[in-house]
Copies of this chain bind each other. A is one copy, B any other.
Amino acid sequence: SSLHHTCQWGTGTRWGTAEATETGMSRLSLSDADKQVRDWFVETTKSLGCTVSVDAMGNIFAVRPGREDGPPTCAGSHLDTQPTGGRYDGILGVLAGVEMLRVLEEKGVETAFPVGVVNWTNEEGARFPISMISSGVWAGDIPLDRAHGLKEVGGGTATMKEELERIGYLGSMPASHTAMPLAAHFELHIEQGPVLEAQRQKIGVVQGVQAYRWYTVEVVGRGAQAHTGTTPFSSRSDALLAACRMITLSHDLATSHAALASTGILTLHPGSVNTIPGRVTFSLDIRAPLDSTLDTLEAELKSRFATIASKETTKGLDLAVSWRTDSVSPAIHFHEDCISAVREAAKAVCGSDSLARDMVSGAGHDSVYTSRHCPTSMVFVPCRNGVSHNPEEYTSPEDCAIGAEVLMQSVLRYDRL
């Protein structure tokens, strides 16, 4: 009920009528709705005995003291969503962390060291197009200046720094694992895939995260913008036709490497029915379990895209293709101590080994970056039809509760360790 309470800020599309909660979410990072849920998070965790600090990327750390001082063992995830996302991706992980704080407080539990909850900024990469950017800055992998200067997608001009300032979450603490070290990081998340549901299992013990890379590809025709009715195919350099061939090829090549390739954004210029587009820009997201697969796929795509551009180039009209790498997230293997803590917690909560399974995450998470500087693992729970990034994303209250219990027990086990 806390989770649904916080979904009043940034409520998205309604998909069902049986329950008031049958809507998606549209809470883009650093929007007004994001500010409202952040304010709730700060107020609530303070009331549960936490000290709250905000860093220069707007990451919020709520820390509850332990018997001894030291870096906190944290549950962390994110409160931002996709433009047409659901109520669970990210939100469940933070809210289960808050629930943990509530249980500890109500039961008067004392931990050995501090424990806490983190809300990481712009995990989705949906508004500012680098996913996990703020845990990336914390980890020292993404320069603060680059992150602060990053502009929103869709032609807007607002930067992350301006928006952090605007909503009052540009913190004074450096965004860094040295200024804010963590003892360990555990993240509860919906699986975003079909396996647990299909196997009727309750918990995924996450071993790591597959590699992925994001690019912006631009196809530009010099002199290519021309009339659709009077320009024969032999005199065209059609930037959209070339882009369509590239997107189709990326799918086919990825298939042959057992990898994934996807395009979620495409814009073209000038955008008139009877003018051949002179410029097309599209996003390209490639993923595979091994970094080396992506090395090969990237090299092949670069060479084959160049061939497509030169084939669509005609009669001295240039068609140029250029690539910008927006982010690189290498394959990650989580820490054995944390993996064990999750596995043991799952056994204790579910009462049986067979209701949990080891898995690798297809999606990136802030745990990718925390794992570079502190022991990390993740807890997955099933989601209906494996669907996420969709308003209809759904995990039952029972499965949310099981996940939250496993998360709390993992944190407490690690704290004791």
Contacts and interface: CB of A to CB of B under 8 A. Distances in A.
Interface of A: 82-84, 124-126, 129, 131, 153-154, 191-194, 210, 212, 214, 223, 225-233, 235, 238, 240-241, 243-245, 247-248, 251, 254-255, 260, 262-266, 268-278, 283, 285, 287, 326, 361-364, 385-390, 392
A225 B285 contact: no
A272 B266 contact: no
Contacts of A192: 227, 229-230
B271 A264 contact: yes
A251 B233 contact: yes
A212 B229 contact: yes
Nearest to A195: B230
A154 B264 contact: no
Contacts of A84: 225, 269-270, 275, 278
Contacts of A233: 251, 254-255, 260
A264 B224 CA distance: 12
A275 B389 CA distance: 6
B264 A276 contact: yes
A388 B226 contact: yes
Chain A, interface SS category? loop
A260 B229 contact: yes
Given A240-B263, A248-B241, A273 B214 contact: yes
A232 to B, nearest CB: 8
Contact of A231 (B126, B193, B228): B193
Given A226-B390, A229-B260, A230-B192, A270 B235 contact: no
Given A84-B275, A125-B274, A270-B84, A194 B235 contact: yes
B271 A154 contact: yes
A317 B124 CA distance: 25
A386 B273 contact: no
A273 B266 contact: no
Contacts of A228: 260, 262, 264, 285, 287, 389
